[in-house]
Structure 1
Amino acid sequence: MRFDTATPGRLVLRDGDVALAEYVYEPDDAPVESPRPYATLRTRAGRDVTAYRPDDHVWHKGLSLALPYVGDANFWGGPTYVHDEGYVQLPNNGAQVHRGFAASDTPLADAVAGLARVDEQLDWVTADGTTILTEARTLTATGIDDESWALTWSSRLTNVSDAPLAFGSPTSHGRPDAGYAGIFWRGPADFTGGTITGPSGAVGDAARGSASPWLAYTSPDGGAGVVVLDARSDESPWFARSEEYAGLCPAPFFYDETVLEPAATLHLGAVVIVGGADAAAHAPITGANLVAAVRSEADVPGTVDPGPAAPPTEDQA
């Protein structure tokens, strides 16, 4: 596998002649959509397993790191949930700005392991032009078998502002059952009504708000599956949907805010496996090994873990 750099503003992940993913690092999106790099993903057979700007939420972009509350800034896109007022379009939509790519520290090891890897530097910029976070992001891709492949995502966010930054979700701000915030996979329209499973079997939308090491989503026709594994050091609650639309997101700020002090660093990570109906079979071993690799690389002094989530209260269940 390799990342093709021939197209300005995007990387194309290729396995031979097959394009498995496109990582758009210089998006041309409206400011209200909180522009940010995102990846569109496909199966080895060429089927799309992500949506870009769906009509119901135009700020949903394939696979991306999207956070609705970083201090007062919205890096999710669209309106902000305000307690007792509902969703309000505020002048607070920020952007994740690509600053450059860095060469891998382990190019030979990557090649031997069959990995395609990219290390990226980004700034998180508020609506008034202030950079409040810098990010070191690493994406790696590897083949699993003739049908499946995996993408790992690791982000280290450093507070470069002069004040603490609270990371939260609509649920942490008072809206029940809406704790979205994190590395978010949005599935295409033909995935709506599919099946969500976890380690114990089918869980459906009841998985929303519960903790799990991974969740898998299978399309209604059984032709494709996506597995998302939580790659931070503690299991996150999940934001998961199948009825309104297809979406999975390990959501460490579902119930409670995490406060990042100036100069401190927060790690978020996920592993995404793309395959057929049996993609979830790769989660216990292959997925777990990829998660361990992400955690090992991110385990550096001074990194903040969001910590275990509080159990849901009656009005959040």
Structure 2
Amino acid sequence: MLRCAGRAVAEHVHRPRLPKELSPRPYLHPVRTFGGVVVTEVRPADHAHHLGVSLAVPDVSGVNFWGGRTYVRGQGPVALDNHGAQEHTGWLRRDPDGSVQEVSWTREGRELLKERRTISTRALSADAWALHITSTLTNVSGEDLSIGSPATNGRPGAGYGGFFWRAPKEDASDPPPEVFTDTASGEDAVHGSTAEWLALAGRDWTLVFAGADEETRRDPWFVRTGAYPGVGSSLAWERRLPLAVGAGLSRRIVAVVSDGRLDRPAAAALARKALSA
């Protein structure tokens, strides 16, 4: 159980038992506001491979670490036997308010990537707390790799892959969550943007996402609100990301979890506070 200021805010499922077509991986769910509102969803009917808060990549040199079907150029989404798994291999630190874990990204026993993942929490106010996630991936496969997405394989706008947060759907009678940045509003306007921060506001909760370093801030945001509510930071938006043998890449994300439906000034203030914590 992950805690913040002494309160349980998330469950860290580090060794899930899932079928291989879901690309098993560690994830956080349920994640809650201080007020107890659940702001994640796992294995929803619309996308069974969405697992709360996780790191998922649909194409690592042809291996699917996202789950579900693989987008094939000229064919569209295809069910392939190409799924990998992220296997928790050990804790370097495990405290109530955070952890450092090692994760092995494998395909049929062959290790492609070794990851060090750091998770920590910080209280920001009586109604909001911040989740910090740092991931460092190292290519240990013995050969050059590259990270891709459905967009790099021919599906425009589908550049997902990396950090991903699946939020819960509201009741059928409620409108989709509102999404906005400091300068734009709505899925069409913010999807694919490189805004400093991005907020997803539901009926009685708000999530505010920000890159915590320059490299992460250059990654475009992947956003869905109409089909389902989800936000990700994209590693391969338009072109494949090469990762030479022995090389590494790091990304740092901070996500604010707040009770209530925040407006733009309140979301901006919490983003600034989370990044300075």
The reply to whether TM is greater than 0.5 is yes
The answer on whether the counterparts of 1:212 and 1:236 sit within 8 Å (CA) in structure 2 is no
The aligned residue for residue 54 of structure 1 is 44
* 1:237-252 equivalences in 2 (<5 Å): 237-252=220-235
The aligned residue for residue 187 of structure 2 is 204
Deviations 1:86-142 (A, max 9, x none): 1111111100000110138xx9xxxxxxx922110110011x220011011100111
Distance in 1, Cα, partners of 2:42 & 2:243: 30
The aligned residue for residue 39 of structure 1 is 28
Distance in 1, Cα, partners of 2:191 & 2:276: 25
The aligned residue for residue 118 of structure 1 is 99
Distance in 2, Cα, partners of 1:198 & 1:51: 23
Deviation of 1:250 (Å): 1.3
1:144 equivalenced with 2:144 (yes/no)? no
Deviations 1:247-304 (A, max 9, x none): 11111311111110111111122111000322613344213325xxxxxxxxxxxxxx
Distance in 1, Cα, partners of 2:137 & 2:17: 23
* 1:211-250 equivalences in 2 (<5 Å): 211-219=194-202, 221=203, 223-234=204-215, 235-250=218-233
The answer on whether the counterparts of 1:14 and 1:21 sit within 8 Å (CA) in structure 2 is no
1:20 equivalenced with 2:27 (yes/no)? no
The aligned residue for residue 3 of structure 1 is none
The answer on whether the counterparts of 1:196 and 1:205 sit within 8 Å (CA) in structure 2 is no
1:288 equivalenced with 2:268 (yes/no)? no
Contiguous gaps of at least 5 residues in structure 1: 1-10, 108-114, 291-317
Higher relative contact order (CA 8 A, sep 6+): 2
Count of residue pairs the alignment pairs up? 267
Over the aligned positions, Cα root-mean-square deviation in angstroms equals 1.8
Pair 1:62–1:136, CA change in 2 (3 A): same
1:89 equivalenced with 2:76 (yes/no)? no
The aligned residue for residue 252 of structure 2 is 269
The answer on whether the counterparts of 1:164 and 1:262 sit within 8 Å (CA) in structure 2 is yes
Distance in 1, Cα, partners of 2:66 & 2:276: 30
The answer on whether the counterparts of 1:163 and 1:261 sit within 8 Å (CA) in structure 2 is yes
The answer on whether the counterparts of 1:159 and 1:165 sit within 8 Å (CA) in structure 2 is yes
Q: 1:79 aligns with which of 69, 86, 90?
A: 69
Distance in 1, Cα, partners of 2:75 & 2:112: 27
Give the structure with the higher percent strand: 2
Q: 2:154 aligns with which of 174, 180, 185?
A: 174
Distance in 1, Cα, partners of 2:151 & 2:21: 21
1:206 partner amino acid: A
Deviation of 1:204 (Å): 2.9
Deviation of 1:232 (Å): 4.2
The answer on whether the counterparts of 1:236 and 1:251 sit within 8 Å (CA) in structure 2 is yes
1:193 partner amino acid: P
The answer on whether the counterparts of 1:27 and 1:35 sit within 8 Å (CA) in structure 2 is yes
Deviation of 1:22 (Å): 0.7
Distance in 2, Cα, partners of 1:273 & 1:125: 31
Distance in 1, Cα, partners of 2:19 & 2:26: 13
Distance in 1, Cα, partners of 2:196 & 2:243: 24
Equivalent pairs: percent with the same residue?
37
The answer on whether the counterparts of 1:51 and 1:186 sit within 8 Å (CA) in structure 2 is yes
Distance in 2, Cα, partners of 1:251 & 1:270: 12
The answer on whether the counterparts of 1:196 and 1:215 sit within 8 Å (CA) in structure 2 is yes
Distance in 1, Cα, partners of 2:147 & 2:270: 28
SS in 2 for 1:202: coil
Distance in 2, Cα, partners of 1:21 & 1:277: 20
Pair 1:254–1:213, CA change in 2 (3 A): same
The aligned residue for residue 59 of structure 2 is 69
TM-score normalised by length of structure 1: 0.80
Contiguous gaps of at least 5 residues in structure 2: none
SS in 2 for 1:103: strand
